[in-house]
Structure 1
Amino acid sequence: MYKSIIFDLGGVMVDFDPKAYLVDRLCNAAIEEQVYDLTFGSEEWQQLDAGLVSRFNGNSSMLKKAKAAGREFEVQGVLDDWLHILRPRRRMQELVQRLKNHGYSVYYLSNIPQDVLELFQTRGILDNFDGGVASCEVHINKPDPRIYQALLDKYSLRASECVFIDDNLANVQAAFALGFAGIQMKENVGTLVRSLATCNVTLR
């Protein structure tokens, strides 16, 4: 019997599709790929998620590499502007509250930099959760098994009693390997609710 539902944040609770954002912004496939590799897909971005560098130092390093690649203008624009793509999904917030109303515990487990975590806290995006673990706090990113274990340990949870939801298949597979039930968020809330029902997590 599942008792706890665990949600990723970006791409699940909040819109986050950097590749689509770059398509809209740059309208050039080759440049989009290059800028993605210099920003969202970069080592610095991973370090920011893990809380190993500050936003200032991470951005400075990305810009240095972008300048060497002749893409400083484009990367500077992305770093100045990208936060606006993080739009809360109201229906997901409603789902979290419905799950709580039906007696489930709800947590988040997210790869997220410190400044974005603080932004979400300020905006109230995390208010309905019973708790969670952010990568920047434990200095470990998904799909490293240790971050899943950190959540289990922090709240005395059993993986076999948890359902984990993430838009990234590798993260779902890592959770499954540890004994979680795993659901990849692909489309909309209705599809997710049907997937939860296959785990006998019902909202009726």
Structure 2
Amino acid sequence: MYKSIIFDIGGVMVDFDPKAYLVDRLCSAEMEEKVYDLTFGSEEWKKLDAGLISRFEGNATMLKNAQAAGCEFEVQGVLDDWTHILRPRHRMIELVRRLKNHGYCVYYLSNIPEDILELLTARGVLDQFDGGVASCEVHINKPDARIYQALLDKYSLKADECVFIDDNLANVQAAFALGFAGIQMKESVGTLVRSLATCNVTLR
């Protein structure tokens, strides 16, 4: 019997599709790939998620690398503008509330930098959760098994009583390997509700 439902944040609770954002912004496949590798796909981005560098340090290094690659202007624009893509998914927030009202514990487990965690907290995205673990707090990113264990330990949870939801398949597979039930989030909230029902997690 599942008692706890665990949600990723980016791509699940809020919109986060950096490649689609870059397509709309740059309209050049070559430049989109280059800018992605210098920003969202960079080592600096992973370090930001893990709380190992500050936003100032991360941006400075990304801009230095962009200058060397001849696309400082494009990367600067992305770094100045990208947070607007983090639109809260209100139907997901409502789903979390309904699950909680039906007696389930609800948590988040996310790769997320400190400043973005603070931003989404201020916007009320996390208000319905009973708690959670952010990568920036424990200095470990998914799909490292240690971040899942950190959540289990923090709230005295059992993996086989938890359902984990993430848009990234590798993260879902890592959770499954530890004994969680795993669901990869697709576009539709209705599809997610049906997937939860297959785990006997119902909202009736």
Alignment-mate amino acid for residue 72 of structure 1: E
Q: How many residues align?
A: 204
Per the normalisation by structure 1, the TM-score is: 1.00
Look up the equivalent residue of 2:5 and give its one-letter code.
I
In the alignment, the residues of structure 2 paired with residue 70 and residue 4 of structure 1 have an alpha-carbon distance, to the nearest angstrom, of 48
| Cα distance in 1 for residues equivalent to 2:44 and 2:153 | 28
For 2:31 and 2:121, the matched residues in 1 are separated by 34
- Aligned to 1:136, the other structure's residue is in SS state helix
How far apart are residue 5 of structure 1 and its match? 0.1
What corresponds to 1:148 in structure 2? Answer: 148
Per-residue displacement from partner, 1:70-113 (whole Å, max 9, x unpaired)?
01000000000000000000000000000001000000000000
| Structure 2 counterpart of 1:91 | 91
Match of 2:107, SS state, is strand
Q: CA shift at 1:186, angstroms?
A: 1.2
The alpha-carbon deviation at position 187 of structure 1 amounts to 1.8
3-state SS, counterpart of residue 164 of structure 1: strand
What is the rounded CA distance, in whole Å, between the counterparts of 1:108 and 1:52 in structure 2? 20
Structure 1 residue matching 2:33: 3-state secondary structure? helix
Letter in 2 for 1:175: A
Match of 1:183 in 2: 183
**AA in 2 matched with 1:155:** Y
> Secondary structure at 1:129's aligned position in 2?
coil
Where do 1:69-80 residues align within 5 Å?
Answer: 69-80=69-80
Q: For residues 155-193 of structure 1, what are the alpha-carbon distances to aligned partners after superposition, in whole Å with 9 as ceiling and x for unaligned?
A: 000000000000000000000000000000012100000
Q: Which amino acid aligns with 1:34?
A: K
Give the whole-Å Cα distance in 2 for the aligned partners of 1:150 and 1:196.
Answer: 24
CA distance in 2 between partners of 1:79 and 1:186 (Å): 27
Structure 2 equivalent of residue 129 of structure 1 = 129
Partner in structure 2 of residue 19 of structure 1? 19
How many Å separate the matches in 2 of 1:22 and 1:82?
Answer: 9
Q: Distance in 2 between matches of 1:55 and 1:103?
A: 38
Matched residues in 1 for 2:132 and 2:8: separation?
Answer: 10
Rounded Cα–Cα distance in structure 1 between residues aligned with 2:140 and 2:17: 22
Percent identity, aligned pairs only, is: 85
Please state whether the residue corresponding to 2:132 is helix, strand or coil. Answer: strand
SS of residue in 1 equivalent to 2:6: strand
Instruction: State how far apart, in whole Å, the 2-side matches of 1:185 and 1:47 are.
Output: 25
| Matches of 1:168 and 1:186, distance apart in 2 | 10
Cα distance in 2 between the residues matched to 1:141 and 1:109: 10
Q: Which amino acid aligns with 2:103?
A: G
Q: Residue 107 of structure 1 aligns to a residue in which SS?
A: strand
Q: TM-score, normalised by structure 2?
A: 1.00
Which segments of structure 1 move beyond 6 Å, counting only runs of 4 or more?
none
Structure 1 residues not aligned, in runs of 5+: none
Q: Which residue matches 2:193?
A: 193
Partner SS for 2:165: strand
Structure 2: gaps (5+ residues): none
Which letter does structure 1 place at the counterpart of 2:65?
A: K
